[in-house]
Chains A and B, each alone.
Chain A
């Protein structure tokens, strides 16, 4: 089975721009979660989608949004980028989205200049 894939792997943007990141979960997995990882804040939960619905949400401003498609692929969007949005964005998928293990992708490294 192919693992979780994320595209692009690296991205450079400037302040004020917007960005869309993509995540393809493991085949058959319906839960997709997004995390932001920075040296200062560590791993922080952004949101989780299950069957095209946002089921859980972390404490991030509305500039961070996401969606999930019928094939379980997910995208997250960050509008009006700020320097502090520079981070590794990780996506994780799970089969049922409850207590099961999550499988993480390699992440997208976003740099905001």
Chain B
């Protein structure tokens, strides 16, 4: 199963942009890159996903490297409510979900 590597933790100031990196050097051509986040005492929450092109939604942007071996989740203006563990995962076309979550990045946001 393809694995992802993320920094254990990152820190940001409130209202500043945050770039959360993810390495996935063993990604295959049909793997989608998904990002989820988990706030304290809650289940994970979908943030964004993409295949090859950069993606934007109301929560964040996803920048995917040209070789697809890495990606970056961009929070344009961090708020205190964005403090969470962010997971970068690869979703493979197995005819369903068999997602492998890594340890994720714990994001701390300072006021």
Contacts and interface: CB of A to CB of B under 8 A. Distances in A.
Contacts, number: 65
A105 B32 contact: no
Q: How large is the interface on A (under 10, 10 to 19, 20 to 34, 35 or more residues)?
A: 20 to 34
Interface stretch (B18-26, B64-72, B74-82, B88-96): B88-96
Contacts of B42: 106
A31 B96 contact: yes
A44 B91 contact: no
Interface of B: 32, 34, 36, 42-46, 49, 87, 91, 93-104
A35 B43 CA distance: 10
B49 A99 contact: yes
Contacts of B44: 43, 90, 92, 102, 104
A56 B100 contact: no
A45 B100 contact: yes
Interface of A: 4, 31, 33, 35, 42-45, 48, 50, 55-58, 90, 92, 94, 97-99, 101-107
Given A58-B98, A90-B43, A106-B42, 19 more contacts: A31-B97, A33-B97, A42-B101, A42-B104, A44-B101, A55-B94, A55-B96, A56-B94, A56-B97, A56-B98, A92-B43, A92-B97, A98-B93, A98-B96, A99-B93, A101-B49, A102-B46, A103-B46, A104-B44
B43 A45 contact: no
B81 to A, nearest CB: 17
